[in-house]
A and B are shown apart, each in its own frame.
Chain A
Amino acid sequence: MAETETEGRPLEIVSRAQARDRDAFEQLVEDHATEVYRLAASIVGAADAGDVTQDTFVAAWQQLPRLRDATRFRAWLRQICVNRARNWLRSAARRGVPVGLDTQDFLADRTDFRRVVEARTVIEPAFERLNADQRAILALHYSMGYSIAEAADALRVPVGTAKSRLNAALNVLRDAVAEPERSKAEASS
């Protein structure tokens, strides 16, 4: 019943949480933490998913009184998660590669990327080279299985924009994945 529930929870729970009821918010955390965690992992990777999930719920707690339509709680939470995940990636990019930790390994990574043909090993580095928006749309649609409309809502862009972003991101990923295969083919010819 969309009018009275949000994803199985009575709207009253959201309303109570909006009124700063900690127990109600804890119920919302228990209901939605796994989905938020998986969405975060899809965008930033499992290693950082816990931090992004925590950031998401802290922001949700802080801003919940500003949520005007309680039926949109789940979609709104998804928006916060995507926003936090993108910020996380941008922040990580700004911090750069901690060469003080891994200069040698990092330089070696590039070579591994080019020589390894096993699927995951090739796709993962390619995925990690995508920008935050590209990662987000691929994660929302392919990893989480959201419809284009739901993905567009999470990204706060029109459906048409989401479609074009999805297509562009997929093409970038295809090209990135194809590069080492081309190199390998050239090397063997």
Chain B
Amino acid sequence: MNDAQITEYLRSRSRVAPPPSLAGSIMAAVDTAPTLRSWFASLVPAVAAVAVAVAVLMLAFVIGRGPQVGPGPTDSDQPAPSASIVPSASPSDAGPPLSLLRPGDVAEIPATDATGEWGTIRIERMEDIGGYSDAPIAEDVGLSGEFFVIEFFVSYTAERMPDPAQFGSLDWSLRPIDPNAEHFFVTEAKSFERVGGLGIRPDDALPVFPGAIDIFTTPTEGTIAFQVSRREANLDLELVYARTTPQVAIPARIAGPAPEPVPVATPTPGTAAPGYVTVEGLPFPVLDSVDADALFTQPDQCTNPEDGYTVTFPDDWYTNTETGGVPACSWFTPDFFEVSAPGVAPDDIWIFIGVVEGQVGYTSNTPFYLSEAVTVDGRAGRRTEYNPNPNAKPDYRGYDYVIPLGQDGPTLVTSTNSDVASDYALAKAVLDRIMATFTFGD
């Protein structure tokens, strides 16, 4: 491989034609995008009241781009909004800008649909929290300590049925005020659910109301929670109500330190999920399986020399030797198998173990049937069972352990699923026991 081939490849990356509809879709997005205007002027009286240090900070924002690292809390009781360019915080030009910057702040805005206002929404800012000790954030496996949560309590008061009727958590998102923020992101509200007997807070989560309810008598309120990366704590954030055009955006957080992470409790025998049992000598509950227990009566052992780990596995089972760059001790299956192409796993493999670069997460709409913290040989991780595409494959189940080996990776991933394992229940139970006896090399 030479430089000419590399540069030719790089040139080829730009030899693409945009879809014919591109300009149209851009203009459609432009038409629904909020128009930005400065609200700095309207804040001048408040700015005058704050400490000199804050004024200096604001000057920095006015002169140029805000600092990459947030200023942290000020000594003043008065929140110090940075002078970023933000969408209007008020649904109309009348009245002072709305603010949800401090816990306890309340904002009221019209609930809207395609034909106009259908009611009122009251939003109360809650405290930022570092996580939920009894219910780890499920969407970003193994990374719950890297996130904090911003909560709002939302109440809808209806004057008529909205059209379309559906409303609730889907109305809300959180984003940086500065659209050029280096870590720009848009976070959708989480409509957490109780899944598989595992509590996912907040218990009073605002649902998506289907519309087939008596909106005038059914309480339509609840908490919306936003999971925000700690590295984005240095951004000014705004809460966006997306049901109106232009969207209503309310300043919701000033850049500053995130709350300390809340340790997620390691499962104990008393809190084992249904179907899991405590086995003497194993560090965490495993799926109850007489067959799996029998397989581990006199287990075999193998070591992955590249990634340095050692596992025990059923003596009757088979694992791989190094093949095509795949280290030994990466694949496990009860049936004898042959590798027809180096590095390519045969269809017979039930369980995969691998170390991958970077962090590993799940798509936010992944339904979880199990999601719990586990500690594997002293390293915190998560065990999950999920279906990534319930519409296409409703019966599919995947079962993973994901163990971060560093803040930004690599990550140990061990996995089985109902497609590859003809006895999926046994595969899960065996994987549990493999991971319960897993040891990392130094």
Instruction: Give Cα A80 to B184, complex, Å.
Output: 12
Q: Are B26 and A120 in contact, with the CB atoms below 8 A?
A: no
Residue A39 is within 8 A (CB to CB) of chain B in the complex: yes
Instruction: Give Cα A57 to B18, complex, Å.
Output: 14
Q: Which residues of A contact B31 (CB under 8 A)?
A: 22
Instruction: Give Cα A183 to B326, complex, Å.
Output: 12
User: Which single residue of chain A is at the shortest CB-CB distance from B21?
Assistant: A50
User: Which single residue of chain A is at the shortest CB-CB distance from B349?
Assistant: A104
Pick 11 A–B contacts, CB within 8 A, sort by A. A26-B27, A39-B14, A41-B14, A54-B22, A98-B366, A98-B388, A99-B360, A103-B413, A106-B356, A110-B326, A111-B343
Contact digits for A83-112, partner B, Cβ 8 Å, 1 yes 0 no: 110010011011111111101101110111
Q: Are B420 and A104 in contact, with the CB atoms below 8 A?
A: yes
Q: Which residues of B contact A173 (CB under 8 A)?
A: 6
Within 8 A of B (CB), among A17-58: 20, 22, 25-26, 29-30, 33-34, 37-39, 41-42, 45-46, 49-50, 53-54, 57-58
Stretch at the interface among A5-13, A67-75, A122-130, A147-155: A122-130
Nearest chain B CB to A127 CB, angstrom units: 7
Q: Are B352 and A107 in contact, with the CB atoms below 8 A?
A: yes
Nearest chain A CB to B144 CB, angstrom units: 13
Within 8 A of A (CB), among B176-210: 179-185
Residue A138 is within 8 A (CB to CB) of chain B in the complex: yes
Nearest chain B CB to A169 CB, angstrom units: 10
Interface centre among B9, B359, B360 (most CB of A within 10 A): B9
Q: Which residues of B contact A108 (CB under 8 A)?
A: 343-345
Residue B64 is within 8 A (CB to CB) of chain A in the complex: no
Contacts A41-B13, A87-B184: A111 and B325 contacting too (C-beta < 8 A)?
A: yes
Contacts A97-B360, A99-B360, A104-B345: A66 and B85 contacting too (C-beta < 8 A)?
A: yes
Query: Footprint of A on B, CB under 8 Å?
Result: 1, 3, 5-7, 9-19, 22-23, 25-27, 29-31, 33-36, 85, 140-141, 179-185, 229, 323-326, 330, 341-345, 352, 354, 356-363, 366, 384, 386-389, 398, 400, 402, 411, 413, 415, 417, 420
Residue A63 is within 8 A (CB to CB) of chain B in the complex: yes
Q: Are A37 and B27 in contact, with the CB atoms below 8 A?
A: no
Q: Are B324 and A115 in contact, with the CB atoms below 8 A?
A: yes
Q: Which residues of B contact A167 (CB under 8 A)?
A: none
Q: How large is the interface on A (under 10, 10 to 19, 20 to 34, 35 or more residues)?
A: 35 or more
Query: Footprint of B on A, CB under 8 Å?
Result: 20, 22, 25-26, 29-30, 33-34, 37-39, 41-42, 45-46, 49-50, 53-54, 57-59, 61-63, 66, 80, 83-84, 87, 90-91, 93-101, 103-104, 106-108, 110-115, 119-120, 122-124, 127, 129, 138-139, 142-145, 170, 173-174, 177-178, 180-181, 183
Q: Are B400 and A103 in contact, with the CB atoms below 8 A?
A: yes
Q: Are A100 and B386 in contact, with the CB atoms below 8 A?
A: yes
* New A-B contacts (6) at CB < 8 Å, excluding given A80-B180, A122-B1, A123-B5: A22-B30, A26-B23, A57-B26, A94-B359, A143-B11, A143-B14
Q: Are B180 and A59 in contact, with the CB atoms below 8 A?
A: yes
Instruction: Give Cα A91 to B13, complex, Å.
Output: 21
Q: Are B30 and A57 in contact, with the CB atoms below 8 A?
A: yes
Return the contact of A42 from the options B13, B323, B411 (Cβ within 8 A).
B13
Nearest chain A CB to B10 CB, angstrom units: 4
Q: Which residues of A contact B36 (CB under 8 A)?
A: 62-63
Instruction: Give Cα A178 to B183, complex, Å.
Output: 32
Return the contact of B13 from the options A33, A94, A139, A180 (Cβ within 8 A).
A139
- Classify the interface of chain B: helix, strand, loop or mixed: loop
- Classify the interface of chain A: helix, strand, loop or mixed: helix
Instruction: Give Cα A37 to B16, complex, Å.
Output: 8
Return the contact of A97 from the options B3, B185, B361 (Cβ within 8 A).
B361
- Top 8 closest A-B pairs, CB basis? A111-B343, A114-B325, A96-B361, A142-B10, A100-B388, A37-B18, A143-B14, A107-B354
Q: Are B361 and A25 in contact, with the CB atoms below 8 A?
A: no
Q: Which residues of A contact B15 (CB under 8 A)?
A: 38
Instruction: Give Cα A43 to B111, complex, Å.
Output: 40
Interface centre among A33, A53, A111, A145 (most CB of B within 10 A): A111
Q: Are B325 and A115 in contact, with the CB atoms below 8 A?
A: yes
Contacts A66-B85, A91-B185, A93-B359: A53 and B10 contacting too (C-beta < 8 A)?
A: no
Nearest chain B CB to A91 CB, angstrom units: 6
User: Which single residue of chain A is at the shortest CB-CB distance from B8?
Assistant: A119
Q: Are B33 and A58 in contact, with the CB atoms below 8 A?
A: yes
